[in-house]
Structure 1
Amino acid sequence: MGESITGLKRSHMCCHVNETMIGQEVTVMGWVQRRRDLGQLIFIALRDRTGLVQIAIDGNTAPKEIFEKAETVRSEYTLAVRGIVTARTEGNINPNMKTGKIEIIASELRILSESETTPFQIEDNITVKDDLRLKYRYLDLRRPCQLKNIVLRHQVVQALRSFLNNEGFLEIETPILGKSTPEGARDYLVPSRVHPGNFYGLPQSPQLYKQLLMVSGMDRYYQIAKCFRDEDLRADRQPEFTQVDMELSFIDVDDIMDINERLMQKVFKDIMNVDVQLPLQRMTYKEAMERFGSDKPDVRFGMELVNISDVVAGTDFVVFKSALEAGGSVRAINAKGCGSFPRKKIDSLVEFVKTYRAKGLAWIVVNEDGSLKSQIAKFFTPEKLQEIVDKMEGKPGDLILICADKDKVVFDSLGALRLELSKMLELTRPDDFRFLWITEFPMLEWDEEENRYVAVHHPFTAPMDEDLELLDTDPGAVRAKAYDIVLNGYELGGGSIRIHRRDIQQKMFELLGFTQEDAQERFGFLLDAFKYGVPPHGGLAFGLDRIIMLMSNAPSIRDVIAFPKVKDASCPMTDAPNVVDQKQLDELAICFNEEILKAAAAETEEA
């Protein structure tokens, strides 16, 4: 049974009590981190979101009922304590606590509520499964590291808002219940009771609404926007996530980059005291893929890809020969100092790249005496092997790793391999923040399954001016006025200049295989708005969760979201999603196909 709080008013948060208040009476409230019973002296470490303060109850001087009550206190009990701030004796000062030089001598203590034994300790560096932490997320959030992430998130959002407000942006909310426009990831659908058989789509982004705001003359818009995508999860993905979304009128690429560079500079300086040097590095998509095998390269370390197709051209080694004849390439990375890797470890790298559809991995070890060792040595003359090593600038102790296949497979495999090696070799530091822009993305890519072009970003991205004529002659070669901002191997945000001309927008829809009727059905409200004077406009959206994950060095975005989902898009704490009663289904005119349900359940269980 808990006591009433009536008559007590909290005067200070726990860590706001300090040495300047010695002799003053204060009232603090929070949770019991731990209790130490020294017989006639009881110490309680009381915790709120600011940290810990020590409460002392002396059996020789405290009222009997207070001391007896303190003897019953256990971890995670919720207390209210009134008392006098007192300096600790020299030997009892705790330099590891913010309040380590003082304690509160309790004159009144109330147990506001009791607690059962928690399923895990409320402290950092615990070893406990994620599913258990997330089932009791309200307890997990009491841990200092988790609380720190949530506070950081709040501070970042305030800094973002402050900057954008000062730059003349308007914060405008766009609808959550909108029209489903399936192009890309799957939408989450919401059935309508008022319109039986019809559905709303939850927004994957506010894209169409923010373009309409530009048509409306709002000029500069931003929103801390909730977005939803029904897709498979990874460590940095969630079915519902938060974007820092913006759109601007009468601008071009450089204008948007300038604003967002200064935005990141302010946030990292204000929150982390990290100086971001401007302007940020810029790199074209083509250069990023050629050098790093990724459109979101981690540039904190080298180990760049090198195209050795010219060196091995004409070889009879069937793996290299067939890759080149099929229009692919042979590329390699130099893992400096890794020539001492045991064969078992090298074989594990070969297996690693197979998960990226590579057929294998050739390797050359440069021994300390300069001699070469390779599993493909019998297919090449010593001179040709040395030529490969020279092209890779190999030195004694190096390990050359080679992949041959279609370019996409080679880029994916070696791009992932260099990241894997950087982790193994600890080549990066989490406090080294390296930003860059990736520009000139392909506008379209060919989808073999659908036998048509699909938009790399979305159908409203403008082509680069100099590539306009290629829309009719070579659509796959068209580059987009699109740009991503990348940090340490993660895409922080992406955007583009939008199409504002009806003829180009119509051409885009045609390339994507939409008839005029299809386009009008899906995007008619946008196309109708474009009849009435459209300003040149563009925008960008940051993934807020991902920014906080990198700033806090958290292993997953789940650690920076108050109540996240797990990998199957469920919530262990609330058991969502769950069944609803038949009455609700009847009101929505929904019934289930039992055979399809059983098949889907079986597929999920197998996965």
Structure 2
Amino acid sequence: MNDILGDWKRTHYCGHLNAEHIGREVCLMGWVQRRRDHGGLIFIDLRDREGIVQLALDPDRDPEAHQKADRVRGEFVVAIKGEVSRRPDGTLNPKMKTGEVEIEVRELRILNSAKTPPFMIDEFSEVAENTRLKYRYLDLRRPALQRTLMLRHQVTRIVRDYFSGEGFLELETPFLTKSTPEGARDYLVPSRVNQGTFYALPQSPQLFKQILMVSGFDRYMQIVKCFRDEDLRADRQPEFTQIDCEMSFVDRDEVLSVMEAMIARVFREAIGVEVPLPMPRMTYAEAVGRFGVDNPDLRFAMELVDISEIVSNSGFKVFSDAVQGGGLVKAMNIKGGATLSRKDLDDLGEFVKIYGAKGLAWVKVNADGWQSPIIKFFSADEVAGIAQALSAEVGDLLVFVADTFRIVNDALGRLRGHLGHKLGLIDKGAYKFVWVTDFPLLEWDGETRRHVAVHHPFTAPMDEDVTLLDTDPGKARAKAYDLVLNGSEIGGGSIRIHDRAVQSKMFELMGIGDEEASIKFGFLLEALEFGAPPHGGIAFGLDRLTMILADTDSIRDVIAFPKTQKATCLMSEAPGEVDDKQLRELGIKLVTRPK
């Protein structure tokens, strides 16, 4: 490479040049975006990570450079020397950062040629995602993707600067650790030295960051890779990055205050948005009561209303039976929704069935009265009560779900989010944050016949609920908190259990006996006996946060080398087979070979 460049040194990035550089000699290097021959003059758009600048090659100025330019094609790698000049009148391009200038080229070197790429490297080409992922090295040249990844870099820089200023230490935790499957599946790594045993890639640094607090480091942070072998969605990846934090001698309010100030700084410095502080808070019970979910999107209204008391003795047995059977009936007013067609309503009914609901009842509020297949079952008082509870007006559509607490809230809450997008109710330029607090500590799993932790088993109960662990553990609330932004959970954490007895009680309630607890978590339990301070922390999803900042719908757009929804890398073709010699060294024999 040194022979090709010789004594040439790049002086500027292409996208940094403007009118202030007119008359200056520059040396640029990059990729050819496009080449245009105007019957003598040749124009080349040269691109690097910072942008595009126009090159002008005149055969009278440098015949040799002009001849080389005639051979250049898209994605050739070139270096040029020349002078920055103002574009001729009528050719300025105000849409480009460099639109006032062009480079009068005196020397050109072709550093490498290129095959014709399978898609155009520009902002506007519609390319199938599988093609983009297969040729990711070309996809990453696209300006939009480069801007997104540079934004990600800015976010990580801001985060590190903030935490350093707040006294946090960035400390690394192990990637090769012990499998403690509780929730998502672990990625396992076989040990060659200790055949028959396995490491696990961490789903979270949780145990180690708690150990760091026991060790007296007081404030820890890490931007860390984590791994979960689970089914994927648009906002999930098998490997993902967390902004991981832990603090000693703190209560919940202090953790939330420090963390929301960090988020506010990220938004201010990364995209120029001021986030009002303090951020609002809402209990889990309020969030589920008003919105059906614990990650409410507050950019639009349309809240859920419990009408169980109004319809508890209704002639419509679907409603009255649900209430009398211990369930509930909730409704939602879709303002102006009376214009939806019967097919639209059928589609909404199919949507709620995804979340366990048996169907969706509806009422159209028309000028001449209510229109609905179920209206004949309601008394005048019930109609009036429902209308008042839902602030029903002419033109509205009222929708209802009757079932168990979980199904009603899940179905209507998800439907609310779906309609927010479908009906254009969301203010796309808004950023609405809310801390959701006071989650249930435990929930009963009917399949395994035991309690499971709502967050994780190291979350502390609320002080006033500790006694409930012995009497009614399902009612105990957790010192847990999630930060929700525009309907997405971007961070979650808790104050941790720092008392050995309470931690052992949690394991007991989850059906984890002393022997199993010792095998899986023995080192933590022992550490808690050596003076563990009160501590708590949180982890933010860096990928998801960047996705929101970049205003993109796919998490794969903010990761340089993402996996597909089948957890494969189309570029490197991972995962792949290994040869028999490697398997023998690991003491592993495959039952079958993949086809």
TM-score by length of 1: 0.96
Match of 1:431 in 2: 429
Alpha-carbon distance change, 172 to 214 in structure 1, aligned in 2, over 3 angstroms: same
Q: Distance in 1 between matches of 2:3 and 2:338?
A: 68
Counterpart AA for 1:59: P
After TM superposition, give the deviation of residue 144 of structure 1 in Å.
1.3
Partner of 2:445 in structure 1?
A: 447
1:431, distance to aligned residue in structure 2 (A): 2.3
Amino acid at match of 1:54: Q
- 1:324 is matched with 323
1:2/1:114 contact within 8 Å kept: no
Deviation for aligned residue 1:527: 1.1
Residues 163-183 of structure 1, C-alpha deviations (whole Å, 9 max, x = no match)? 100000000011100111111
Taking the aligned partners of 1:559 and 1:326, their CA distance within structure 2 comes to 47
Question: How is 1:78-477 mapped onto 2 (pairs within 5 angstroms)?
Answer: 78-367=77-366, 369-477=367-475
Q: What CA distance in whole angstroms lies between the structure 2 residues aligned with 1:377 and 1:398?
A: 15
Change (3 A) 1:3 1:101: farther
Q: 1:326 offset after TM fit, Å?
A: 2.5
Q: Secondary structure at the match of 1:189?
A: strand
Shift of 1:17: 2.0
Letter in structure 2 aligned against 1:44 = I
Aligned counterparts of 1:278 and 1:574: Cα–Cα separation in 2: 45
Q: Deviations over 1:520-571 (max 9, x none)?
A: 0100111111121110000000000000000111111110000001111111
1-side partners of 2:558 and 2:3: how far apart? 34
User: Does the C-alpha gap of structure 1 residues 3 and 81 become closer, same or farther in structure 2, counting only changes over 3 Å?
Assistant: farther
Contact 1:328 1:406 in 2 (8 A): yes
Q: Single out whichever of 322-331 and 352-361 deviates more from structure 2.
A: 322-331
Task: Give per-residue Cα distances to partners, 1:280-313, cap 9 Å, x unaligned.
Answer: 1100001100100110000111110000111111
Q: Is the aligned partner of 1:48 residue 2:45?
A: no
| 1:510 paired to 2:522 | no
Q: 1:561 aligns with which of 559, 566, 590?
A: 559
Contact between 1:436 and 1:485, CA under 8 Å: does it hold in 2?
yes
**Residues 427-479 of structure 1: CA deviation (Å, up to 9, x unaligned):** 11332101110000000011111110011111110000000110000000000
Q: Secondary structure at the match of 1:175?
A: coil
Equivalent pair of 1:3/1:112 in contact (CA under 8 Å) = no
583, 586, 589: which one pairs with 2:587?
589
Q: Which residue of 2 aligns with 1:605?
A: none
The answer to whether the 8 A contact 1:3-1:110 is kept is no
Counterpart-to-counterpart distance in 1, 2:67 and 2:528: 75
1:126 to partner: Cα distance? 2.4
User: Aligned in 2, Cα 1:140/1:3: closer, same or farther, shift over 3 Å?
Assistant: farther
CA distance in 2, matches of 1:210, 1:476: 28
Is the aligned partner of 1:26 residue 2:26?
yes
Q: Is the 8 A contact 2:61 2:106 kept in 1?
A: no
| Residue of structure 2 in register with 1:604 after alignment | none
Give the superposition deviation at 1:118. Answer: 1.2
Distance 1:317 1:511 in 2: 41
Instruction: Indicate if the aligned counterparts of 1:430 and 1:553 stay in contact, CA closer than 8 A.
Output: no
Deviation of 1:7 after TM superposition, in Å, equals: 2.5
Q: Distance in 1 between matches of 2:492 and 2:382?
A: 43
Local SS of the residue matching 1:91: coil
Q: How does 1:590-605 map to 2 (within 5 A)?
A: 590-594=588-592
Task: Compute the displacement of 1:193 (Å).
Answer: 0.2
Inter-partner Cα distance in structure 1 for 2:208 and 2:428 = 37
> 1:15 — aligned with what?
15
In the aligned structure 1, how far is the partner of 2:411 from the partner of 2:128? Answer: 30
C-alpha distance in 2 between matches for 1:227 and 1:193: 23
Structure 1 position 125, deviation (Å): 3.1
CA contact (8 A) 1:245 1:542 kept: yes
Partner of 1:62: 62
CA distance in 1, matches of 2:105, 2:427: 45
Preserved CA contact (<8 Å) 2:312 2:324: no
Question: 2:16 touches 2:51 (CA, 8 Å); kept in 1?
Answer: no
Name stretches of at least 5 consecutive residues in structure 2 with no aligned partner: none
Say if 2:300 and 2:427, in contact at 8 Å, map to a contact too: no
Match for 1:429: what amino acid? D
Please report the RMSD computed on the Cα atoms of aligned residues, expressed in angstroms: 1.4
* Aligned-partner Cα distance in 1 for 2:472–2:10: 70
1:286 aligns to what SS in structure 2? helix
CA distance in 2, matches of 1:370, 1:248: 62
Of stretches 396-405 and 84-93 in structure 1, the one that deviates more from structure 2 is: 84-93
Could you tell me how far apart the structure 1 residues matched to 2:71 and 2:2 are? 13
User: What is the one-letter code of the residue matched to 2:523?
Assistant: F
1:208 is aligned with what amino acid? L
Q: What is the SS of the residue equivalent to 1:506?
A: helix
Q: Which moved more, 1:383-392 or 1:531-540?
A: 383-392
How far the C-alpha of 1:3 sits from its partner, in A, is 8.5
Indicate the SS of the match to 1:92. coil
Deviation at 1:402, TM superposition (A): 0.4
Deviation at 1:484, TM superposition (A): 0.3
Q: Is the 8 A contact 1:291 1:305 kept in 2?
A: yes
Matching residue's letter, 1:108: E
Supply the AA of the counterpart residue of 1:468. V
What is the rounded CA distance, in whole Å, between the counterparts of 2:101 and 2:126 in structure 1? Answer: 32
Distance 1:119 1:389 in 2: 59
**8 Å contact 1:2–1:113 — kept in the other structure?**
no
Equivalent of residue 572 in structure 2, options 571, 574, 577:
574
The secondary structure found in structure 1 opposite 2:269 is helix
The offset of 1:355, in angstroms, is: 1.1
Q: Structure 1: which amino acid aligns with 2:500?
A: R
CA distance in 1, matches of 2:458, 2:161: 29
**1: distance between equivalents of 2:89 and 2:133?**
42
* 2:365 counterpart letter in structure 1: V
Deviation larger for 66-75 or 472-481? 66-75
**Mapped partners of 2:214, 2:467: distance in 1:** 27
Distance 2:557 2:380 in 1: 52
Are the aligned partners of 1:228 and 1:241 in contact in 2 as well (CA < 8 Å)?
A: yes
* More displaced stretch, 28-37 vs 385-394: 385-394
Q: Secondary structure at the match of 1:81?
A: strand
> Is 1:499 matched with 2:530?
no
Contact 1:300 1:434 in 2 (8 A): yes
- Asked if 2 retains the 8 angstrom alpha-carbon contact of 1:389 and 1:400, the reply is no
Structure 1: how far apart are the matches of 2:216 and 2:65? 66
TM-score by length of 2: 0.98
SS of the equivalent of 2:474 reads helix
Given residue 85 of structure 1, which amino acid in structure 2 is its aligned partner? Answer: V
Structure 1: unaligned runs, 5 residues or longer: 602-607
**Poorly superposed stretches of 4+, deviation over 6 Å:** none
Aligned residues: 595
Instruction: Choose the corresponding residue for 1:533, options 531, 534, 539.
Output: 531
Equivalent position SS for 1:461: coil
2:62–2:106: 8 Å Cα contact kept in structure 1?
yes
CA contact (8 A) 1:245 1:541 kept: yes
Shift of 1:383: 4.7
**Contact between 1:77 and 1:111, CA under 8 Å: does it hold in 2?**
yes
